[in-house]
Amino acid sequence: MREFELDIPYGRIAGLRGGDLGGNRVLALHGWLDNAASFVPLAPLLTGIDLVAPDLPGHGRSAHQPRGTDYSFAGAVHHVLDIADALGWDRFSILGHSMGAGIGSLVAAGAPERIERFVAIEALGALPETIEATVSRLRDAVAATRALPGKRLRVFPDLDIAVRARMHANALGEPVARLLVERGTEAVDGGHAWSSDPRLTLPTMVRMTDAQVDALVAGIDCPTRVIYASPAQPYLPEPDRSRRAALLPDGEVRVIPGGHHLHMEDPAAVAAAIGDFLSAR
């Protein structure tokens, strides 16, 4: 995959692009605190597509959002559409992992005229919140946001230490963690620090309810293939995740043994599950 940069209204977007320039257009959206390198292991196994994997705002080598703004799935919808506009893509498909699949769900439901197909890996819709926890979540988010400027940036004296930290945090193998860390850090005095915007670690101020997430998923009209890892993750347990996928008007599910980053750890199995779904005409 080769580096690219483009400008959208909020700022500079960096990323990786590979595949066939004449193939079906696919925008690959990575997970929370990951970056475009998330798709490096999978990209060579997907044929017949023009694969563009941006570092989403605040991640990797892309610009951070302006001060006074916050990161949300809803806000990311326009970033995704702005990226497609900058590429000159009127219609395209989405390949999303985790947070990227959540954002992709909103794009597919909110701009159905733009989306041809959708592959969602390890997420569908958005993370819900109970009505009872609405106020406590809001208060926690406000307090954390106000306290953030006083926190010190963690500096790793050696990049290998950052790799080991990422391996431990996400139960990743060393080669996979290194891909993400090398693109997700920057040189600073004393070593290396995460390049991602610290505001990404803040609690989301307001989340949808379960009923709203269900309505969102039911509003995804395009052909959709959902790929889940087994065992299920705590944030999207069974039977909730299967029940939600069943709400898709034109959806199907594949379940593969593995962890949350199965598209990086076992790209051959994920590529087989995708098959020709994204390259179909």
Q: Which residues are catalytic?
A: 98
In order of 60, 70, 153, 196, 200, the CA distances from 64 in angstroms are: 10, 10, 15, 8, 10
Q: Decide the pairing of beta strands 2-8 and 24-29.
A: unpaired
Q: Which of 52, 94, 43, 101 is nearest to 73 (CA)?
A: 101
Tally of CB atoms within 10 A around 203: 14
Identify the CA nearest to 266 among candidates 172, 182, 183, 181.
172
What dihedral do alpha carbons 36, 172, 275, 22 form, nearest 10°? 20
CB-CB neighbours of 266 under 10 Å: 19
Strand segments, DSSP code E, in 232-274 are 251-257
Rounded distance between C-alpha atoms, residue 245 and residue 189, angstroms: 47
Residue type, 40: V
Contact between 81 and 55 (Cβ < 8 Å): no
**Torsions phi, psi of 69, nearest 5?**
-110, 165
Is residue 102 within 8 Å of 31, Cβ to Cβ?
Answer: no
